[in-house]
Structure 1
Amino acid sequence: MFPLRDHNPSGRTPYVVYLLMAANILGYLWYSTSFPGDRGLAMFYGAFAAVPREIMSGEAPLTLLTSMFIHGGVMHLAGNMLFLWIFGDNMEDEMGHLPFLLFYLVSGVGATLAHVVSAPMSPVPLVGASGAIAGVMGGYLLLFPKARVDILIILIVFFRIIPVPAFVMLGLWLGMQFLGGLNADPNLGGVAYWAHAGGFLIGLALTLPLWLKRGGPRFWTRTAGHPPHPETRYSVTRVPRVPRHPPARRPGPWGK
């Protein structure tokens, strides 16, 4: 299940979202090509990634920030930037440029600390913007629970793009983080589920004052949970269907 876009237009240019995306993408292009061999890159990660054991001992506090702008690979980076692109512009529109930047950074630091609490003695470095972006998603859920999000569902040979309310997509995502966190050992690396869940809840809490300023429950009543402006309408996006019974083929050589 991959989000592709939402139907929630923003009223102003999301300069901070653009800036954050540029910092992450250009940074990745720099450090992924500037350090010779795996050893040099590992030393870079060791210096700028967040290591729970070091943070618990009071070392390298700046890695709480620097780790948010480091990614472990192209797909890691691309996935995070997609989520930031979809949900970040509306949060920046509602909060304003500088408040949104502060919100993003605080959510990211809080998400990293949530991971540190879950594995305080872990020597495994933590990298990625997903904790901060999870905070953006938590705030989005509070402000626009029924905004429509187009998701791509892939089930083996079944491909379908369907619009769903944001609370369905984000609620499922949050539930997956809790389930993953309960079944994973954070000391072994992999997905930082508790950073995701922690960032989401922190972002939701940080958005509460803005939601109350908009009227709280009255805001939801007035908008029925939808964006307080006309939604974007897209033309129907079709995904090629894979036939259930492909035509028989003659035997051929093995391939991969």
Structure 2
Amino acid sequence: MFPIRDSIYHHGPALITRLLIAINVAIFFWQVGLGPEGFQWVVYHYGFVPKSFFADPGGEFWHIFTSMFIHGSFEHILGNMWFLWVFGPTVESRLGSGRYLLVYFLAGIGAALAQAFFLPASTAPMIGASGAISGVLGAYFLLFPTAFVLTLVWPLPPIFFWFPAAFFIGYWVFLQLLYGLMGLPGVAWWAHVGGFLVGYLLTVWLRPRRSYHDDPYWYRHYGF
């Protein structure tokens, strides 16, 4: 299932979401411009390696931040940035720029630490913004459970459904847990779970007390 858009028309320009996407894309094209060897050097030099972190936590901690802006392929960055664009603006508008950024980066830190906790001997560099974006999904899950997500269910022929956000994100979390427990390689499943939990719990504390339903700029629209 692939999200196309949500049903909430947000108020505001989503400047932080746009800025995060622009930075990630710019860094990725910088990687590509270095050539294949330079591309891999960036992955291994700026990625987060759990085994190295536990050997020297103080010296390796900065890799958590750099790893959030490094991606391994066009498909990798496209998927991450699309999820951020679908779910980020609504959360940013609800939390405000400062709290939104705090959720994003602290979820990214929590994601890396969760991955390190479950795979402490791993020498594979963890890269990508998906841990931080998982935190945005956690915030969305708490703030907008009754919203709907237009979802591409089957690409050929394309079939679209409106799923409740709680169902869509809940199913996504279930898959991350399942694949993590199965030990499927190639994706930092536990980072996704950790980032989601951090984003959710932070939003419990940080969210504005006034419901978005009371804001005349907010309304829901169902359908295409």
Match of 1:135 in 2: 135
Match of 1:198 in 2: 194
Match of 1:246 in 2: none
Structure number with greater CO (CA < 8 Å, separation at least 6) is 2
Match of 1:145 in 2: 145
Q: CA shift at 1:192, angstroms?
A: 0.6
SS in 2 for 1:162: strand
Deviations 1:119-147 (A, max 9, x none): 11111000000000000001100010010
Q: Distance in 1 between matches of 2:132 and 2:217?
A: 25
SS in 1 for 2:163: strand
SS in 1 for 2:86: helix
Match of 1:252 in 2: none
Match of 1:45 in 2: 43
Q: Distance in 1 between matches of 2:97 and 2:193?
A: 25
Amino acid at match of 2:220: E
Deviations 1:71-127 (A, max 9, x none): 010011000011100111111111111221122111101101100101111110000
Match of 1:57 in 2: 55
Percent of aligned positions that are identical:
38
Shifted more, 69-78 versus 55-64: the winner is 55-64
Q: Distance in 1 between matches of 2:160 and 2:5?
A: 11
Q: Distance in 2 between matches of 1:37 and 1:180?
A: 30
Stretches of structure 2 lacking an aligned partner (at least 5 in a row): none
User: Whose helix fraction is larger, Structure 1's or Structure 2's?
Assistant: 2
Stretches of structure 1 lacking an aligned partner (at least 5 in a row): 237-256
Is contact 2:69-2:127 (8 Å) kept?
yes
Instruction: Number of aligned residue pairs: give it.
Output: 220
Q: CA shift at 1:233, angstroms?
A: 5.0
Amino acid at match of 1:33: G
Match of 1:100 in 2: 100
Match of 2:220 in 1: 231
How high is the TM-score relative to the length of structure 1?
Answer: 0.81
Match of 2:16 in 1: 16
The verdict on how the C-alpha distance between 1:105 and 1:85 changes in structure 2, with shifts beyond 3 A counting, is same
Amino acid at match of 1:87: F
Q: Distance in 2 between matches of 1:82 and 1:44?
A: 23
Q: CA shift at 1:162, angstroms?
A: 0.9
How high is the TM-score relative to the length of structure 2?
Answer: 0.92
Aligned equivalent of 1:214, options 205, 209, 214:
209
